[in-house]
Amino acid sequence: MEKEKIFFTMLMAIFSFFIMVERSNAQNPTIMVRIMETTDLHARMLGYDYETKKKTVEYGLEWTSSHIKNSRLEFPNTLLFDVGDAIVGNALAKYSFLSYLFNWMDVHPVYKVMNEMKYDAATVGNHEFNYGLDFLTASLSGADFPFVNANIYLEDGNYYAGDDINFFNPYLILNKQFVDSEGRKHTVKVGVMGLITPIAAIWDREYFNGKLKIKNMRQTAEHFVPIMKNQGADIIVVLAHAGLTADEGLKKKKWGNSVYSLSQVKGIDAILYGHSHSLFPNKSDPQTLYGMNHSKGTINEVAAVQAGYWGNHLGMIDLQLKKAGEDWVVFNCQSTVQPIFRTVKQRKIPILPKDPLVMKIIKNDHHRILNYIK
Ligand SMILES: [Zn+2]
């Protein structure tokens, strides 16, 4: 009799414990957001080498696109960003510039593809400036998604910083409808800021001198992050066209102009970066600095990812959000770089079939280029 009583009491305790857990889950829903990154595409829309005239499975946005679409099917809450160096680097890029000069470019072929892929936002890389500001402006006008950059300013000829004018929109706050772990919808405010390594102003000085100047990345972030927070950003994502460490050519101006330095700015939740064509996280990377975690994909505890180049990897940051008062805050993260091919017995095999939509969009341009190369 006594045993039965104990058993019954225990059963009740377990039962009420589960009800409690259930209730607290309902009161504390979580949101999982997958943030996806492409970077340094260098006009590789297709897995095609215009020099050897051969198809390849090793790069090309037509391969990466399938991974993006897969993630969108798998997860209800996703974001897609590009981190720059998209429009310069191969015959497609040269052809686009020539067609602009001859006045028959409507939308830049790279942005034709990216428009269809529904990017949430993008930033510019140093190579975006290679063909000059007029071509850049004309190209960007064909993109259906917004561009952000916070540290390129108009050269205004005075030393007073208070009247400086941004060349691009420095940041934006996206109101995203996300679904929580209980299936309920919430509006999450995603702040997105863009930054570029100041080396762009040195490498393309003919387009910068007297027209544009690039400010320190870290100081710019320290200026804008609190502004974005004040405007209600729940999470802050930085699109940084800069390497983990600063460019050698910056000499004495290296401080603050690296992703590593950016990771020390308070309030940033995720850094998507590019420029140096490397991978992060990457356990076999010898370039590991203090505070870098290649298992989780964090730098000084900030989620970070770098997706290689030419679309050979899709960068992904999975952020877990929970409610803190009225705001959504990050309580866990995991970064991954997903390759588009694997090598088995020295053969390169694509992981997913290519997305035929990409070729469909730029088929005419592609054939014109093949003629132009001839
Ligand atoms: Zn670059």
- Whether the pLDDT of residue 25 is over 80: the answer is no
What spacing in Å lies between the alpha carbon of 354 and ligand 1's midpoint? 26
What spacing in Å lies between the alpha carbon of 249 and ligand 1's midpoint? 13
Percent of the chain with pLDDT over 70: 93
Helices within the chain (DSSP H only): 2-27, 61-74, 91-101, 109-116, 133-140, 199-203, 205-208, 217-230, 259-262, 356-373
CA distance 213 to 38: 26
What contacts 21, CB < 8 A, 6 or more positions away?
A: none
What spacing in Å lies between the alpha carbon of 27 and ligand 1's midpoint? 45
What spacing in Å lies between the alpha carbon of 266 and ligand 1's midpoint? 25
Mean pLDDT of 223-239: 98
Mean pLDDT of 211-230: 97
Q: Which residue has the higher pLDDT, 304 or 17?
A: 304
Contact 80, 311 (CB under 8 A): no
What spacing in Å lies between the alpha carbon of 355 and ligand 1's midpoint? 26
pLDDT tens digits for range 265-282? 999 999 999 999 999 999
CA distance 176 to 61: 25
What spacing in Å lies between the alpha carbon of 126 and ligand 1's midpoint? 5
What spacing in Å lies between the alpha carbon of 127 and ligand 1's midpoint? 6
The whole-number pLDDT of residue 88 equals 94
What spacing in Å lies between the alpha carbon of 13 and ligand 1's midpoint? 60
What spacing in Å lies between the alpha carbon of 39 and ligand 1's midpoint? 9
What spacing in Å lies between the alpha carbon of 42 and ligand 1's midpoint? 9
Q: Which residue has the higher pLDDT, 284 or 180?
A: 180
Query: Band of the pLDDT at 18, cuts 50, 70, 90?
Result: low
What spacing in Å lies between the alpha carbon of 2 and ligand 1's midpoint? 75
- Whether the pLDDT of residue 24 is over 60: the answer is no
The whole-number pLDDT of residue 17 equals 54
- Whether the pLDDT of residue 202 is over 50: the answer is yes
Q: Which residue has the higher pLDDT, 263 or 5?
A: 263
The whole-number pLDDT of residue 103 equals 84
State the CB neighbour count (10 A cutoff) for residue 296.
14
CA distance 187 to 157: 42
CA contacts within 13 A on the Cβ side of 63: 26
Whether the model clears a pTM of 0.75, i.e. scores above it, the answer is: yes
What spacing in Å lies between the alpha carbon of 85 and ligand 1's midpoint? 6
The whole-number pLDDT of residue 297 equals 97
What spacing in Å lies between the alpha carbon of 188 and ligand 1's midpoint? 31
What spacing in Å lies between the alpha carbon of 276 and ligand 1's midpoint? 7
What spacing in Å lies between the alpha carbon of 124 and ligand 1's midpoint? 9
Determine how β-strand 78-82 pairs with β-strand 121-122: parallel
pLDDT tens digits for range 310-339? 999 999 999 999 999 989 999 999 999 999
Query: Band of the pLDDT at 23, cuts 50, 70, 90?
Result: very low
- Whether the pLDDT of residue 6 is over 70: the answer is no
Structure-token pair, residue 82: 């590009």
Query: Band of the pLDDT at 13, cuts 50, 70, 90?
Result: low
State the CB neighbour count (10 A cutoff) for residue 142.
16
Min mean pLDDT across 22-26, 125-129, 216-220, 334-338 is at: 22-26
The whole-number pLDDT of residue 32 equals 98
pLDDT tens digits for range 130-173? 999 999 999 999 999 999 999 999 999 998 999 999 999 999 99
What spacing in Å lies between the alpha carbon of 278 and ligand 1's midpoint? 11
Contact 300, 264 (CB under 8 A): yes
pLDDT tens digits for range 71-84? 999 999 999 999 99
What spacing in Å lies between the alpha carbon of 366 and ligand 1's midpoint? 24
The whole-number pLDDT of residue 10 equals 66
